[in-house]
Chains A and B, each alone.
Chain A
Amino acid sequence: MDLAKGAKLKGDRLHRLRRSLRKSAPPKGARPATMVPDYDAIVDGQVGRQWIDQTPDDVIFLDLETTGLRADRSLTSLIGILYRQQDSLRLEQWYSGDVAGERRQLQRLQRLLERFDRVVTYNGNGFDLPFLRCRWRWHQLAGISDGCESLDLLVDVRRRYRKEWPNCRLTTAEERLLGIPRCSDDVPGSEAPLRFQDMRQGAPLSVIEPVLLHNRRDLISLVGLRIELLKVTIES
């Protein structure tokens, strides 16, 4: 029996389907994602000439903030990157508030990463890179190619200082190797997911400002940490 099946959604049926969809309970607290513009700045003033000069241009620094630890059920809320652009260091932060937005940012990141040979992170092997790979796969996007190497500074820090230091957190390495203590108003990274969630549920942008700041400081530290660790290698 050859039927012109009704799934063509003509006229009346389409109208009824819409009505029926509207009747089904809307999820609580759901609202369209807040638009957060990209942060894009030259950070030369915060790093100093020395650091800039010792940072090659085939290296990119990366730090993610996410809505949770499990990649299969979390989103990348913030992609923080820093890289050398001619004689300056450029820091960018890209926000995504929902899964559709995440796709766009992940595509941008993938294209950007193609220009570099190494990705520098802190615990990127353990968290950031697997997370990204999972999210790329979920969105059915191609990930980064094997040509891009990972340089996870935590690996070096652990190897060298695990026995000496109380812990191997980035702030500890910052203090001990770079001599820069974090400000007291710095919000710990663990608070980030909650703050992002608050904002998605309607809190103002100011709620995630501290997270953005924290992320920038982390990225900047990575620049110095990389140089310091290299020095130690050369010396030893």
Chain B
Amino acid sequence: MSSSAESRPIDASKRTSRKPVDSSLDASLDSSLDSSLDSSGNADSSLSSRNGGSTEFTASVETLPSHHSSTHHSATHLSSAHLSSAHLSSSRAPLPTEILAGIRSRIADRDELVALHTIEARPAKTATEVPPLDPRLLAHLQSKGIWPLYSHQAQAMNAVLDGQNIVVASSTASGKTLCSTVPVIDTMLKDPSAHALFLYPTKALSQDQHRHLRELIDGVGVSLETGIYDGDTEPEVRRRLRRSGRIILSNPDMLHASILPNHGGWAALFSNLRYVVIDEVHTLRGIFGSHVASVIRRLRRICRHHGSDPLFIAASATIANPREHVERLVGQPVRIIDEDGAPRGRKHVALWNPPLVKRPDGTRSRRGPASVAVRLLPELVRKGLRTICFARTRNGVELILRYIRERARGATDRQQIADRIDAYRGGYLPSERRRIESKLFGGDLGGVVTTNALEVGIDVGGLDGCIMVGWPGSVCSFLQQAGRAGRSLGESLVFLIAGQDPIDQWFIRHPETLFGSSPENAVIETENPYITARHLICAAYELPISGADSDLLGEQVEGMCTVLQEENRLREEGGHWYLSREEYPAAQVRLRTASEENFTILEIGPDRIIGELDYVAAMVSLYEGAIYIHRTETFVVEQMDHVNCLVKIRRTDTGYYTQALTQKRVTVGEEWATRNSPGATLRLAEVEVRTRITGFKKVRFHSVENIGYGEVDLPPLELDTVSHEIQLERQTVTASERFGSGFLLSAMHGVARLFRDLLALRAMCDPNDLDHHVDADRIHIYDLYPGGIGYSELGHEKHDQVLEDVLEAVVGCDCAAGCPACVLPGSSRVASVLDQELMEYPYPKEATRWLVHRLTGRDEYVPDLTGVAAPTSPRPESPPVLLDERTERKVRKVARWTSRRGRS
């Protein structure tokens, strides 16, 4: 196996010559898994993003690597390709490359492993100069073997001690934690009145980080009072921390709702606040990030009132725009530290694209990634690789486990392997997590299956293998999850198994983006008045507002306060604005949702509240008869109460989901920017979108098969937002006419749909956070949030790059004339198609391709409007049948052998 540093397709020449495996048994295993899971968890994840659930925001824990000392000691043993020994029970562990070869011959079809990328081992880059730290701190670091510091750690510490705001953007397990904890503690050693605030996006993370902080503090031997201040904190602890806590660990929600409004009780903290540390800052994006930007401005204003001006230290995963993002978030210049000096072992990353399988009805679609994982995980465990397997949903975790166990039935050796695989479930009890981790570390467990939400909190030094079942949602998450594999400087194996989804397939086509510069941007909008106005009201509770606050609360502060006064929320007195009534406004503003009028979702039967959905999402996707998917369970909406914002749903088992048929009208308002582009004029503008659901279709999962219609009668949603508009030139329109009616419409819809999905990729948001609309000669891509969140703005900025992605997606898709993985509507709840003409147009892919050529200024593409049409016909359901592993393997052998023989 060569150790090239570039990813390359494997055996590309042999890809097309083989017939795809034609086994109805394979198909039924994967179709039963598929129908339970939805290959890339799309329908489910969209909801979790709109619920603002913290599950969407993935994070990694920065461990003070327990292996750190061994890292330095073994720095000279880099050439060894053997896995570090102590924890494996077998005599000589097989090399990852051997294991990979074995997998390819036994499990994967030859064309399934699309790319193999080897990230070479890299030695540590250590700092040449020592930052001016307190000698006690230096002594402690040295005694722990955390010496010399990595280059980026020293750079970060120096910058902070020099008084600069910084963002450290480097990979997982690169020692980012020390970049903030060390300078903070150093300052506290020198200044007994200094205080610091550490913010984390999740509770689990703050618990882990508090432990590390205490280890450092206790190791140095200084007395510093620290603590976590969040919803779970006991009253006595809260009092103590307010009074005498020097380092407070909390989260943005608590800061917003409790700490800032009661800043009088936190005078000790705010009068001497030297540092605000923000971990996982890339998760502060979208709606949440936009709210947090306002919270930070309130924080800075309160600090100024009490007499402090803290420095910001942020840590980010790898994204395209860390510095710009943090600058927008905190409103100050920030220095970026992105050189990564940490050492790493060799890592083999295999991208696995399950093959196209021929279905009994003649259509082809890809097997689901879960069916691959069910075979792959036991195989890796059998070979002695301690492996973590990330599934996208909780249900997915359970199903994978179940199938692993079922396939192992009847054979003791396979049973034993299956027994050593367990789920790493949620619950966030630190004791439970430690127990599983120690079992994994100690060898009792060989593998765990978990959701993305738990990629934080694994505190073992690293594992040997990692499997990702479907695209994890962002390059960030990919890197964090892949980072879980790789102990010390040993070799590790990572498998990414793609699902049938434009985004998954995009990454299969662009493996270099996983290892080079990320296309992903953290996007926030700091001037959305729907958000800033609400925070102004919160700010008025905290301190009077005046024009002098314009540097922090925005130039528009006086204008907005005047409006708020007219609406009786504020009252002016002596040039200052105050709350006009007695209220606690922070309790009404939730940081993770777009509006206050969320719909509560109630399950009839058990009569329990399942969750909330924000207003806009509910209005465009819920109606009586709608199928609501929550964690891959399906429910039907029985009643929508718009007055009380309540949705009543009932558990149901259907094989279909619903798509709203909507009438939309987009009225363009104030234009923010405009420019010309090949074939079109581009505009970024405020728009009003009026959406009315007129009915809905019932669509079978994973197809475009329409199995029924329903009617609804609902009030329309009026949404004020921002849109990126692509208005086709006259010539483009006239040139399309010769291809017949329906051509241009189909082309525009194809472009719109893919633009939206691929923009979501770049913006690290869910495609359901955007919507598209096609109108005569215009395509609109707009944010599904009042006031806009910045996504369409990114689309406007990156228009050309996104179009290139669209073209690739169209050209690269293996389907004949169009499919749900490329130009046809996927399982999005908001996608709507009204025209029969559009639905029946047979060549959406060709039409789309023609249009993209024109929009990117390429030579004219001549569409092929003959041949196989895009599918509209039904695909019958195959009954799920499970084979045990041994039998299945035999059947496959037979199939391959006979097919080889069959070819002359």
Residues of chain A at the chain B interface (Cβ within 8 Å): 1-14, 16-18, 20-27, 30-32, 70-73, 98-101, 103-104, 107, 134, 138-140, 200
**CB <8 Å contact, B672 and A4:** yes
Q: Which of A22, A23, A99, A107 is the most central at the interface, judged by chain B CB atoms within 10 Å of its CB?
A: A99
B579 A99 Cβ-Cβ under 8 A: yes
Beyond A17-B529, A30-B583, is A100–B578 a contact (Cβ under 8 Å)?
yes
Asked if B572 lies at the interface with its beta carbon under 8 angstroms from chain A, I say: yes
CB-defined contacts of A200 to chain B, threshold 8 Å: 582
Q: 1/0 per residue B694-729: CB within 8 Å of A?
A: 000000000000000000000000101010000000
Whole-angstrom CA separation of A134 from B267 in the bound complex: 11
Inter-chain contacts of A4 with B (CB < 8 A): 670-673
A–B pairs, 17, beta carbons within 8 Å: A3-B672, A4-B670, A12-B669, A12-B670, A12-B686, A18-B566, A24-B534, A24-B596, A25-B596, A30-B582, A30-B583, A32-B581, A98-B579, A100-B572, A100-B580, A140-B305, A140-B576
Is B183 in the interface zone, CB < 8 Å from A?
no
Complex CA–CA separation, A6 to B264 (angstroms): 34
The answer to whether A13 touches B670 (Cβ under 8 A) is yes
Q: Do most interface residues of chain A lie in helix, strand or loop, or is the interface mixed?
A: helix
Q: Shortest beta-carbon distance, A36 to chain B, in Å? A: 16
Q: For the complex formed, measure the closest distance between the CB of B674 and the CB atoms of chain A, giving whole angstroms.
A: 11
- Interface residue? B93 (CB, 8 A): no
Residue numbers in B under 8 Å from A20 (CB-CB): 530, 595, 786
Q: Which of A10, A12, A21, A134 contacts B264 (CB 8 A)?
A: A134
A17 contact set on B, CB distance < 8 A: 529-530, 533, 563
Write out the residue numbers on chain A whose beta carbons fall within 8 Å of the beta carbon of B796. Answer: 1
Q: How far is the CA of A73 from the CA of B260 in the complex (A)?
A: 12
> What chain B residues lie within 8 Å of A9 (beta carbons)?
529, 556, 559-560, 563
Residues of chain A within 8 A (CB-CB) of B722 are: 6
Alpha-carbon distance A22/B534, docked complex (angstroms):
12
- Asked whether, in the complex, the Cβ of A21 is within 8 Å of the Cβ of B569, the reply is yes
- In the complex, whether B597 has a CB less than 8 A from a CB of chain A is yes
> Quick one: which of B573-607 are within 8 Å of A by CB?
573-574, 576, 578-584, 588, 595-597
Instruction: Answer whether residue B835 sits at the interface, using C-beta atoms and an 8 A cutoff.
Output: no
Instruction: Answer yes or no: B469 CB below 8 A from chain A CBs.
Output: no
Q: How far is the CA of A10 from the CA of B579 in the complex (A)?
A: 24
Instruction: Determine the chain A residues whose CB is within 8 A of the CB of B582 once the complex forms.
Output: 27, 30, 98, 200
Tell me which residues across on chain A come within 8 A of B878, comparing CB atoms.
none
Bound Cα distance from A25 to B569, whole angstroms: 11
Closest B residue to A4 by CB, please name it: B672
Count of chain B residues near A, Cβ 8 A: 58
A200 to B569, CA, bound (A): 17
CA distance A9 to B556 in the complex (A): 9
A27 & B581 in contact (Cβ 8 Å cutoff): yes
Complex partner residue of B597 from A23, A101, A138, CB under 8 angstroms: A23
- Contact yes or no, A139 B544, CB < 8 A: yes
What is the minimal beta-carbon distance from A96 to any residue of chain B, in angstroms? 10
Q: Which of A10, A24, A98 contacts B578 (CB 8 A)?
A: A98
Assess the B672–A6 pair: CB atoms within 8 A. Answer: yes
Given A12-B720, A16-B786, A25-B596: A6 and B578 within 8 A (CB)?
A: no
Q: Is B684 positioned at the interface, with any CB of A under 8 Å from its CB?
A: yes
Residues of B within 8 A of A13 (CB): 529, 669-670, 686, 720, 787
Report chain B residues within 8 Å CB of A14: 563
How far is it, in angstroms, between the C-alpha of A10 and the C-alpha of B527 when the chains are bound?
Answer: 14
Interface flags for B246-272 (1: CB within 8 Å of A; 0: not) read 000000000000000011110100000
CB atoms of B527 and A6 under 8 A apart: yes
CB distance from B96 to the nearest CB of A (A): 45
Give the distance to chain B from A175, nearest Cβ to Cβ, in Å: 37
B174 within 8 A of partner (CB): no
Does B564 sit at the interface, judged by CB under 8 A? yes
Given pairs A3-B673, A13-B529, A73-B265, 18 additional interface contacts (CB within 8 A) = A1-B796, A1-B797, A3-B672, A3-B793, A6-B672, A9-B559, A9-B563, A13-B720, A13-B787, A16-B720, A17-B530, A24-B596, A27-B581, A30-B583, A72-B262, A72-B263, A100-B576, A139-B544
Specify the chain A residue showing the minimal Cβ separation from B570: A100
Nearest B residue to A7 via CB reads: B527
Query: Given known contacts A17-B533, A101-B573, is B567 in contact with A5 (CB within 8 Å)?
Result: no
In-complex Cβ contact of A6 among B262, B529, B555, B588 (8 A): B529
The interface residues of chain B lying within 8 Å CB-to-CB of A23 are 596-597
CA A83 to CA B580, docked complex, whole Å: 33
When A17-B533, A134-B264 are in contact, do A98 and B580 touch as well, CB less than 8 Å? yes
In chain B, positions 546-569 with a C-beta closer than 8 Å to chain A are: 546, 554-556, 559-560, 563-564, 566-567, 569
Q: Which residues of B contact A70 (CB under 8 A)?
A: 264-265
Shortest CB distance B512–A (Å): 27
A30: chain B residues at CB < 8 Å are 581-583
Contact of A7 among B264, B556, B564, B569 (CB under 8 A): B556
Q: What's the minimum C-beta distance from B544 to chain A, rounded to whole angstroms?
A: 6
- B789 smallest CB distance to A (angstroms): 12
Kindly state whether residue B532 has any CB partner on chain A within 8 Å: yes
Q: How far is the CA of A103 from the CA of B9 in the complex (A)?
A: 72
Say how far B527's CB is from chain A's closest CB, in angstroms. 4
Q: Report A59 CB to chain B, min CB distance, Å.
A: 29
